Structure 1
Amino acid sequence: MRSQLKISVGQHSDKGRKQTNQDFHGICVPQEPQLGSKGIAVAIADGISSSLVSHIASQSAVAAILQDYYCTSDAWSVKTSIERVVVATNSWLHAQTRQSQYHLDQDRGYVCTLSAMVIKSTTAHLFHVGDARIYQLHGKRLEQLTNDHRVWVSREQSYLGRALGINPQLEIDYRALQVEPGDLFLLATDGVYEYASADGIAAAIASHANDLDRAARSIVEEACRQGSPDNLTVQLVRIDALPDPQASEMVRQRGALRLPPLLEPRMMFDGYRIIREVHASSRSHVYLAVDGDTGEHVVLKTPSIDLRDDQAYLERFLMEEWIARRINSAHVLKPGRQTRKRNFLYVATEFIEGQTLSQWMIDHPQPDLDTVRRIVEQIARGLRAFHRLEMVHQDLRPDNIMIDSSGTVKIIDFGATSVAGIVESAPPAERCHLLGTAQYAAPEYFLGEPGTPRSDLFSLGVIAYQMLAGRLPYGAQVAKARTAAAQRRLQYDGALGMNRKIPAWVDEAIRKAVHPDPRKRYDALSEFVFDLHHPNRAFLNRARLPLIERHPVAFWKGVSFVLTTLLLASLLRSAFR
């Protein structure tokens, strides 16, 4: 039977010597498939004693972790999901204070601390704001995994330097660590950890190893006996079993589906009537078909016959439809409607009546600049739909871009796409692997680095350059540059000088988009698109620079040529004297 993430939990909270309990805590252990895709969430919040409404802030913060987190996209990483949820909660709490009678005294408003942990696959993701703490128990020793955000003015006086609801902006501490079965974590508010000793905590856990709720209650009682004047809350989380990192949602789907045969025209297949083969390659077989239920034309993509024993390939194949069903953009291929049970492993998508960008470039060898801008802008819109979901396409090339009969551009083929929410659950060896096409791949891939949105920007810049110049900006040199030093030596071959009217500032915009160093590219796709339409002042100033600064290699080649010519002329004069 497939292994699954399992934990044991113990929790206890008490108001202690105070009239009310402003702490709040909770744990959410979802069922599959969310257990695999989102993991287990644990959260603890501590209200501040100066506020009468701080308990509302604590409850809201914990509820956001235990509820709103599970409403975020499966494609997002844990870090992105939790941070967006917590930032939104912080904004709401701060707004509540600003609109309340406490708007002039934030210490009496909707303020609390928060420490949270999400256990997904074999990783614990820790998030922390304030002075609640997360520990890991090693025998009788407690290792503090978070840093307190409490500022001490003197031995007797201190204040929270960071907490939810204090400011409109929020900085969240984040840490990720690998976990193993048997690991035990403790989350506690200051009313507990300032009074319960490490030895006492370890002894309580050892005495009640099979009843962590009783262990948590014992720890709280001990802190109270030691004179704690505050609310007291403890959570204990023990890792009992970890999932097989290979046992992903894609593996489960693959095991339930049969591999399809080679399809032929007029053949009936899983409710579809095959019309003809559209494309065949070493990676897949693509067919035009008619849906027997709806009568719609669809495209069916089946796995390559040659790669059917490659389990990683089959998982990536299934990922294509998973990705398509999560992206909603007019410039990204849409999945087909699933109206009946599927029996075979294939992907059904909309049929696009049109041609690939590769064929379009053959038919339009010298497109005008405005047409190129329109195509680039539509591709960028499609890419932004990926990037908003923390996906990187990784194989953007003319063959993976379609232009339909109305001129709408769509990105197709998601077989190489990296999804942050899935990559973080994959074994490290599978995370940095070049799956795209070398001619359009960003240089960082050849250094073994993971792709980022700037990697897709590089590919888009190469495509823009190719449409304008009919060649690649670095030729075939990028794939040969396998070291950082070699990549620094790459020379951009400007698109100017061709027999067409390309403004120098457009060429400079493309140069920046395809810079070998990703840190020197645009921060956003929208900036690149804007600079293709509007002269960037920095590029205009660059055009006025002396040749030695703009193109030092060309300058020194010219100097060498002039000096060689003068030397030859001098030698000739000497010979005829």
Structure 2
Amino acid sequence: MASRLQVSIGQHGERGRKPVNQDFHGSCVPRDRQLAVKGVALAVADGISSSDVSQVASETAVASLLEDYYCTSDAWSVKTSVERVLAATNAWLYAQTRQSQGRYDKDRGYVCTLSALVVKSNTAHLFHVGDTRIYRVHRDVLEQLTTDHRVSLAPGQSYLARALGVDAHLEIDYRSEPVEPGDLFMLASDGVYEHVGAADVQRALADGADLDAAARLLVARALENGSLDNLTVQLVRIDSLQDHAADELVQKMAALPFPPQFAPRAEFDGYRILRTLHGSSRSHLYLALDLDSGQSVAIKAPSIDLQGDPVYVERFLMEEWIARRIDSPHVVKPAPAGRPRSSIYLVTEYIEGATLAQKMRDRGRPGLDAVRRIVDQVAKGLRAFHRLEMLHQDIRPENIMIDAAGTVKLIDFGAASVAGVREMAPGAPAATLAGAALYAAPEYFLGEPGTVQSDVFSLGVLTYQLLTGHLPYDVRIPQAKSRAAQRKLAYTPARDHDAGIPAWVDEALRKAVRIDPHARYRDAAEFVFDLHHPNRAFLQRTRAPLIERSPVTFWKSVAFALLLMLLLDLALRR
């Protein structure tokens, strides 16, 4: 496999026998870093003939996709990136439709169909709305990969069921296909595919014709076969695939040696080591002075004993890549980039404070209000990850720092998962448990990939521990490695450890740490809200028994019931 993605593209479009070309097409093959993290993109759009402005819609749809896709976060998956770009484009087109003649007749608005193909790593991502098509070209057949969104009313009569610019809501077909060198795809408008077949495509590709020439031949063949519509065809051949690499920063750092164990007063790369902050078998953390700025920084160095572990090395290298893409006051910040390095290490801001684990050891369990303040900030840090389609996957007291002002920051991204990076190694194992087992969601122990709900589970466990000093399932989660075993796990109510915890707070904790991820909160913010505000559903289920709400009333009721029973017994004896 080559070190970079290489493709050959041929494309051609013309108005044919129509006065205006309402089709539009385009492609983008970026350079260097963006080629690795974003891949190659192609798109074809087809306007509807009943509209005088649909060519504007076609051009806007293709141009916006090819430009804006490459401006989305590197951490996002291709699916998220393209769908968000298309949703924004659809919103603009729909707004224009509402302000035009299409307000009363959508067939005259800013409407078009679109098919797009993004090739990243060794996967082709297909997006489709309407009746343009994407094919995989085999030797003797065209394999149609998209489904037309056209409804037939009668022979010769049909209408588009879906298109850009028709409605405020856009439903997009998506599928992904593994690719290999030599694979060939064709994108075409109906003016072409309704008038050419597999034999025509093979003849156009024969004799080593370049793909631009083949595209022109296919358009000419469709015209010869009687096409009366606009004609557009794109051909893309996969010449070679790239090796898995997230970013040039990671590639450059991977070529560096592991550093030695630094001693106090040692100087390197413009830093002076002041003292060791923490050491383990996996990494060493130092307090250092930046000799240029005079600022204190934290330097994390990998353990030289693990330099032969490729998974560990990749996770360590990814920590800085992740840190540079998150901007949140509740996530530790990396040092400014640009300084040359002589070895592999990570430099971040120095947080003057203590970990949550240290705080818990020194001060014991905090009260409910203090727990809320901590959890609120942890959730904000988590949501900064989730907005970029990242999962922290290692939420625990040791990975939470609290500074002197009470600001909470997430640290240590060695277990983090990034959707956009996972796409670059689709053949890798589905899931590996990289964080602390006692805080990890049950699905990890079944070999399933993590989700936002997995981080919510860890946040729920952390909150439960802060309030009670215990874990909601004790230490049984890591031992339950089958669905049958997990179904037997029972949540221990937080009120069993501390009766002062409100019943509705206990129910919020219960929901956050459900064994089934689909039964948990879908977002950390929902959990935080229920920690502050009594959920009506919880109040209905958790109304305390009378003996707890009013012991005097309870015992008076018992005494009265006993008196009635005694009087009834005496009456029966007479």
Q: TM-score range by the shorter chain?
A: over 0.9
Match in the other structure for 2:359: 360
Contact 1:250 1:315 in 2 (8 A): no
Residue of structure 2 in register with 1:115 after alignment: 115
Alpha-carbon distance, 1:546 to partner:
9.1
Q: Where do 5+ consecutive residues of structure 2 fail to align?
A: 547-574
Q: What amino acid is aligned across from residue 31 of structure 2 in structure 1?
A: Q
Alignment of 1:498 onto 2:497: yes
Q: Give, as a single letter, the amino acid of the residue that structure 1 aligns with 2:88.
A: A
Counterpart contact for 1:393–1:414, Cα < 8 Å:
yes
What amino acid is the match of 2:92? W
Pair 1:187–1:70, CA change in 2 (3 A) = same
3-state DSSP of counterpart to 2:236: strand
- Aligned-pair CA distance for 1:544: 4.1
In structure 2, relative to structure 1, the CA distance for the partners of 1:415 and 1:65 (3 Å cut) is: same
Q: Tell me how far apart the structure 2 counterparts of residues 499 and 144 of structure 1 sit (CA, whole Å).
A: 62
- Kindly state the Cα deviation for residue 270 of structure 1 after the two structures are TM-superposed: 1.2
Q: Does structure 2 retain, via aligned residues, the 8 Å contact 1:136–1:145?
A: yes
Contact 2:246 2:424 in 1 (8 A): no
Is 2:530 aligned against 1:536? no
CA drift of 1:429 comes to 2.8
Structure 2 distance, partners of 1:257, 1:337, is 19
Aligned AA (2:81): S
Cα 1:41/1:499, change in 2 over 3 Å:
closer
Matched-pair contact (CA < 8 Å) for 2:430–2:447: no
CA distance in 1, matches of 2:2, 2:215: 31
Q: Give the equivalent residue in structure 2 for 1:422.
A: 421
Structure 1 residue aligned with 2:37: 37
Q: What is the CA–CA distance in structure 1 between the aligned matches of 2:529 and 2:242, rounded to whole Å?
A: 46
**1:255 shift after superposition:** 3.8
Partner of 1:377: 376
Deviating more after overlay: 433-442 vs 256-265? 256-265
Q: CA deviation at 1:198?
A: 2.0
Alpha-carbon distance in 1 for matches of 2:329, 2:353: 15
Give the letter for the 2:501 counterpart. Answer: I
CA distance in 2, matches of 1:421, 1:324: 15
Taking structure 1 as the reference length, the TM-score comes to 0.92
**Residue 177 of structure 2: SS of its match in structure 1?**
strand
Rounded to whole Å, the distance in 1 between the matches of 2:338 and 2:272 is 15
Could you tell me how far 1:121 is from its partner in structure 2? 0.3
Q: In structure 1, what is the Cα distance between the partners aligned to 2:497 and 2:144?
A: 63
Amino acid across the alignment from 1:372 = V
Once the two structures are superposed, residues 401-422 of structure 1 have per-residue CA deviations (whole angstroms, 9 ceiling, x without a partner) of 0010000110000011000000
Q: Spell out the pairing of 1:297-336 with structure 2 (5 A cutoff).
A: 297-336=296-335
* Residue type of the alignment partner of 2:376: E
1:166-181 to 2 correspondence within 5 Å? Answer: 166-181=166-181
Tell me if structure 1 keeps the 8 A contact 2:399–2:412.
yes
**Larger CA deviation: 428-437 vs 37-46:** 428-437
The CA deviation at 1:105 is 1.4
> 1:236-267 CA distances to partner (integer Å, 9 max, x unpaired)?
11111111236864652234323211101111
Supply the distance in 1 between the matched residues of 2:498 and 2:314 (Cα, whole angstroms): 47
Q: Could you tell me how far apart the structure 2 residues matched to 1:338 and 1:300 are? A: 14
Instruction: Please give the alpha-carbon distance, in whole angstroms, between the structure 2 residues aligned to 1:499 and 1:382.
Output: 28
Identity fraction in percent: 63
SS at match of 1:90: helix
Alignment partners' CA distance in 2, 1:369 and 1:3: 54
The verdict on how the C-alpha distance between 1:499 and 1:77 changes in structure 2, with shifts beyond 3 A counting, is: closer
CA 1:456–1:105: 2 relative to 1, 3 Å: same
* Residues 444-483 of structure 1: pairs in structure 2 closer than 5 A: 444-483=443-482
SS class of match (2:265):
coil
Question: 1:309 offset after TM fit, Å?
Answer: 1.7
Shift in Å, 1:338: 2.9
Which residue number corresponds to residue 154 of structure 2?
Answer: 154
Alignment of 1:126-165 (within 5 A): 126-165=126-165
Give the C-alpha shift of residue 500 in structure 1: 5.6
Moved more, 336-345 or 290-299: 336-345
Distance in structure 2 (CA, Å) of the matches to 1:458 and 1:169: 32
Q: Could you say what secondary structure the match of 1:87 adopts?
A: helix
Q: Is the 8 A contact 1:416 1:435 kept in 2?
A: yes
Deviation string, structure 1 residues 326-376 (Cα, Å, up to 9, x no partner) = 111110001112352222211000000111011111123231110001111
Contact 1:68/1:85, CA 8 A, preserved across alignment:
yes
Contact in 2 for aligned 1:288/1:298 (Cα 8 Å) = yes
Greater CA deviation, 96-105 or 42-51? Answer: 96-105
Deviations 1:203-260 (A, max 9, x none): 21124x3411111111111110111110000001111111123686465223432321
Residue 512 in 1 paired to residue 511 in 2?
yes
Cα-to-partner distance string for 1:151-188 (whole Å, 9 max, x where unaligned):
11111211110000000000000000100111110100
- 8 Å Cα contact 2:468-2:498 kept in structure 1: no
| Shift, 1:129, TM fit | 0.2
Match of 2:283 in 1: 284
Structure 2 partner of 1:562: none
**Distance in 2 of aligned mates of 1:136 and 1:101:** 38
- Matched residue, 1:47: 47
Aligned length: 546
State the AA in 1 paired with 2:480.
A
In structure 2, what is the equivalent of residue 84 of structure 1?
Answer: 84
Residues 474 and 490 in structure 1, CA contact (< 8 A), matched pair in contact too: yes
Q: TM-score, normalised by structure 2?
A: 0.93
Match of 1:436 in 2: 435
Q: Distance in 2 between matches of 1:459 and 1:287?
A: 28
Alignment check: 8 A CA contact 2:283 2:302 kept: yes
Contact kept? 2:151, 2:160, Cα under 8 Å: yes
Letter in 1 for 2:24: F
**Alignment partner of 1:233 is 2:224:** no
Match of 2:261 in 1: 262
What SS is found at the alignment partner of 2:541?
A: helix
Which residue type is aligned with residue 87 of structure 2?
V
> What is the Cα-based RMSD across aligned positions, in Å?
1.6
Q: Secondary structure at the match of 1:434?
A: coil
Contact 1:188-1:233 at 8 Å conserved across structures: yes
Q: 1:246 to 1:406 in 2, by over 3 A?
A: closer
Matches of 1:329 and 1:531 in 2, distance apart?
23
Counterpart contact for 1:286–1:300, Cα < 8 Å:
yes
For residues 261 and 2 of structure 1, do their structure 2 counterparts lie closer, same or farther at Cα, with a shift above 3 Å needed?
Answer: farther
Unaligned runs of 5+ in 1: 548-577
Paired with 1:64 and 1:352, the residues of 2 have a C-alpha distance of: 42
- Rounded Cα–Cα distance in structure 1 between residues aligned with 2:498 and 2:172: 54
Contact map agreement 2:2 2:240 (CA 8 A) in 1: no
Q: In the alignment, which residue of structure 2 is the partner of 1:554?
A: none
Aligned counterparts of 1:142 and 1:512: Cα–Cα separation in 2: 50
Amino acid at match of 1:174: Y
Partner of 2:68: 68
Question: In 2, are the aligned partners of 1:124 and 1:178 still within 8 Å (CA)?
Answer: yes
